[in-house]
Amino acid sequence: MRAVRRDEYGPVDVLRVATVEPPVPGPGEVVVRVRAASLNMADLDHLLGRPRASRIATGLAHPKNRGVGVDVAGTVEQVGPDVDRPRPGDRVWADLFDLGHGSLADRVCVPASALSPLPDAVSFDDAATVPHSGSLALQSLRALEPIRPGTNVLINGAGGCVGPFAVQMAKARGAQVAAVDHGDKLDFLRELGADEVIDYTREDVARGDRRFDVVLDIADTRSLLALRRCLAPGGRYVLIAAGVGSFAGTALLGPMVGRATGTRLGTFFWRPNQRADLDELGGLLASGDVRPRIDSRYGLDDAVEAFRRLESGAARGKVLVVP
C-alpha cells in the first residue's frame, strides 16, 4: 500500500510517498481503509517539528513518527483479536493526533477504542475535514459558555482551519458573530454566516470602540491585555494558544486580569479525539448547522502540493487528501 512518510523534520519537501507493507492489526487494533483525510495546522507543525519544545516528545534529532496526517474518515477493513466493535465495513472517523499520525495513506492501523462511528448522513469527504479542527472549535466555544441568541461574539483569525467551524457553531446558537481575518477572506467569512467581517490588515479591533460579550482568539497574534479591551463588562475571552509561551502566559495571567477587570479570561486544555465531541460534531453536520468547507482535493502523490496549499494561507476551507 502507499503512505506519505517523512524521515526528517523540515519543510514540505521532506515528504515522500512510500510503498509499505499493509498493516496487520494486533490485539485491540483495527485497520481502517482511508477514504479521506484533511490537513490542519497541526500537520504542518508536526512536519516542521515546531514549537521546538515539542520535539522532547516527538523526537529530538529525528521524528519518532514517520507517518503524516491526523484527520481520518474511512471504513474498517480488518479487526485484530479481542475487538468486538467496530466491525469490518463500519464507517468511522478519528483524530490521530496522539495516536501516531499516519492518515495520509491507503490504510492506517489504530486502536479500536480511538474510532468513533460516522453517521451515514455524513460523507467521507465532509467528515475528514472535522475531527481535529472541529474539536478545537467545539471545546474552545464550550469554554466560553453561555453563548445564546444575541450574544455578541468576536472570532479573531476566523478564516483558517478552526475558525469556519467556530463561526458556524456560534451562529447555530443564535449569536451575532464578528469575524476577523485577512481582507482576501472576508467574502468567505460572510458565506459562513458572519454578521460582520473585519480585515486585520486595515483595522485593529483591539483599538476600536466595539465591545463583545465573547472573544475567541484563534490567531494568537495579540496579547491578552490588547484583546481584553474588546470585552464588554462581564465578557469572556478564550485563547486557542499556538505555542507554549502564550498558553502559559494566558493560563497564569488570565484569571488575575479577569478578577481585576470583572471579566473572564483564559485558555483551555484541549483533549483530542473525544468520542462525545465527535458524536456532537456528527450531529451538527447531519443537521446542516455546520457545513464543512472544502477548499481543494489532492491525491496521495500530490501531498506536497496539498501542504503547500495549506501553508500558503490562501485556502478557503479544508485541504483534503484522498487516497
Helix, strand, coil percentages for the chain (3-state, nearest 5) = 35, 25, 40
To the nearest whole angstrom, how small is the minimum distance from the Cβ of residue 42 to ligand NAP? 5
Closest-approach residue to ligand NAP (CB): 160
Task: Report the alpha-carbon angle 288-267-320, nearest 5.
Answer: 40
Taking the C-alpha atoms of residue 133 and residue 125, their distance in angstroms, rounded to an integer, is: 15
200 binds ligand NAP per the rule CB under 6 A: yes
How do strand 107-111 and strand 116-117 relate by DSSP bridges? Answer: unpaired
Nearest to 137 by CA among 322, 287, 318, 320: 318
39 binds ligand NAP per the rule CB under 6 A: no
270 binds ligand NAP per the rule CB under 6 A: yes
State which residue, 221 or 287, has the beta carbon closest to ligand NAP.
Answer: 221
Taking the C-alpha atoms of residue 44 and residue 68, their distance in angstroms, rounded to an integer, is: 9
Nearest to 32 by CA among 122, 82, 98, 96: 96
43 binds ligand NAP per the rule CB under 6 A: no
Q: Among the candidate windows 82-90, 106-114, 213-221, 287-295, which touches ligand NAP by CB under 6 A?
A: 213-221
| Residue 135 CB contacts under 8 Å (≥ 6 apart), including other chains | 95, 270, 272, 273, 274, 277, 278, 281
Q: Which of 39, 108, 118, 241 binds ligand NAP (CB under 6 A)?
A: 241
Q: Among the candidate windows 65-73, 214-222, 256-264, 274-282, which touches ligand NAP by CB under 6 A?
A: 214-222
40 binds ligand NAP per the rule CB under 6 A: yes
**Strand-pair partners of 181:** 199
218 binds ligand NAP per the rule CB under 6 A: yes
156 binds ligand NAP per the rule CB under 6 A: yes
- The answer to whether 32 touches 74, Cβ cutoff 8 Å, is yes
Taking the C-alpha atoms of residue 219 and residue 216, their distance in angstroms, rounded to an integer, is: 9
246 binds ligand NAP per the rule CB under 6 A: no
State which residue, 70 or 115, has the beta carbon closest to ligand NAP.
Answer: 70
State the residue for C-alpha cell 515539542.
54
Q: Among the candidate windows 16-24, 60-68, 81-89, 178-186, which touches ligand NAP by CB under 6 A?
A: 178-186
Which stretches of the chain bind ligand NAP, using CB under 6 A?
Answer: 40-42, 45, 133, 136, 156-157, 159-163, 180-182, 200, 218-221, 240-242, 247, 270, 313
